[in-house]
A and B are shown apart, each in its own frame.
Chain A
Amino acid sequence: MMLDVRLYLAQRISAMIMAPLVFIHLGMMVYAIQGGLSAAEILGRTQGSVFWMLFYGLFVAAASLHAAIGLRVIVHETLRLRGMALRALTWGLFAVFFVMGARAVMAVTMI
């Protein structure tokens, strides 16, 4: 009761989605603070931007899924959790990560 082909694919695909997003995210941070942008000025650009909402929304969804599956494997192998408890933990972790991430995305992209 650990990784079947669906979870495996979910983890690989979420990693493939995250890889370019991480680089864009880092590159954008370096670029954005070059001229000494303040937090308010950054928020001025991200708030109300559908692009950044979708960009970071996708990022959060992929990261939540990826982390939840990764932790599922570790918990299963070290604590020998299995069955319903393992499934509940996986989706519980996913929900926590996703809600936390979604709140952050909303805070910086909603007006």
Chain B
Amino acid sequence: MEVAVWRGDETGGRYETFDVPAQDNQTILDVVTWIQQNSDATLTYRFACRVGMCGSCAMMVNGTPRWTCRTHVRKVLKGNRLQVAPLQNLPVIKDLAADMDPFFDKWVRVGGRHEPGKTRHDQIEAIPPDTPDRENADAGIECINCSVCYAACDTVRGNPDYLGPAALQRAWTIVNDEKHAGRQQILNTVAASDGCFNCHSMGNCTVHCPNGLDPMNAIAGLKRAVTKNRFKRGG
């Protein structure tokens, strides 16, 4: 099959075509690895776990953001051709490796770090797994930080300062975590400009999340929570 691979760096680049032997069971990551090992050892890309756990291997495949280690070639091959490019909505480092810094910076900015509210001498809260808050928190907990949703989001493309689906989903997860002490701070952060109210609720993030998570719904939850919080605290 014919594989067009984007080559270049932050200053620009172009597609280079490689001929790659097809196999019965082959992922996009296998194809990229084959090129690097057999055609051009200077090809740069990123991966680690190869089993959909680490979130480092996402790329644009035929224009769609995907986790490449778990995307089978036969599912996405179009007329014996493939096009592979670095994840969009992020700066490029080199070739297929996108710079994930803006994505992770937003995760941190939203307050994604756990802040304990108690000391080791206090009793831990008992949180039954079937309370609505815990179910909301559970819904987003399996995020692997792959940035596929971020690359799929048109609102990020139009406004690079927008926090984006993954960071906002993280905010929703910890806003629902009783053990997190900084919940009001998170609501304040997502209520501001470039926060949850920028989301158009078109759901590209949810459609593309390879883990089947639903950031759009999480953001809708944030919008309701922030609105309620605003009225409760008086305007």
Query: Which residues of A approach B to under 8 Å, CB–CB?
Result: 1-5, 7-9, 76-78, 80
Nearest B-chain residue to A73, judged by Cβ: B198
Other-chain contact of A80, B158, B191, B193, B223 (Cβ < 8 Å): B158
CB contact under 8 A between A4 and B158, given known A9-B227, A9-B230? no
Asked if B226 and A5 sit within 8 Å, CB to CB, the answer is: yes
Interface residues of B in 187-209 (CB under 8 A from A): 191-195, 197-198
A8 touches B193 (CB 8 A): no
Q: Are A4 and B192 in contact (CB under 8 A)?
A: yes
Tell me the complex Cα distance, A8–B161, Å.
18
Which residues of A are found within 8 Å of B195, using beta-carbon distances?
A: 4
B interface, over-half SS: helix
Q: Tell me the minimal C-beta distance from B199 to chain A in angstroms.
A: 9
Residue B159, interface by CB 8 Å: yes
A7 and B197 contact, CB distance less than 8 A: yes
User: Contact: B158 with A3, CB < 8 Å?
Assistant: no
**A77 interface neighbour in B159, B191, B227, Cβ under 8 Å:** B159
Given contacts A2-B159, A3-B198, A4-B197, 12 further A-B contacts (CB under 8 A): A1-B161, A2-B193, A2-B194, A2-B198, A3-B193, A4-B195, A5-B230, A8-B227, A9-B227, A77-B155, A77-B159, A80-B158
Name the A residues within 8 Å of B193 (CB-CB): 1-4
CA distance A7 to B223 in the complex (A): 13
Q: How far is the CA of A9 from the CA of B195 in the complex (A)?
A: 14
CB distance from B32 to the nearest CB of A (A): 33
CB distance from A11 to the nearest CB of B (A): 9
The smallest beta-carbon distance between B225 and chain A, in angstroms, is 11
B194 near A1: Cβ-Cβ < 8 Å: yes
Report the minimal beta-carbon distance from A91 to chain B, rounded to whole angstroms: 16
Cβ of A1: which chain B residues have Cβ within 8 Å of it? 161, 193-194
Q: Give the CA-CA distance A4 to B189 in the complex, in Å.
A: 10
Give complex CA distance A3, B198 in Å.
6
Residue of B nearest to A5 (CB): B191
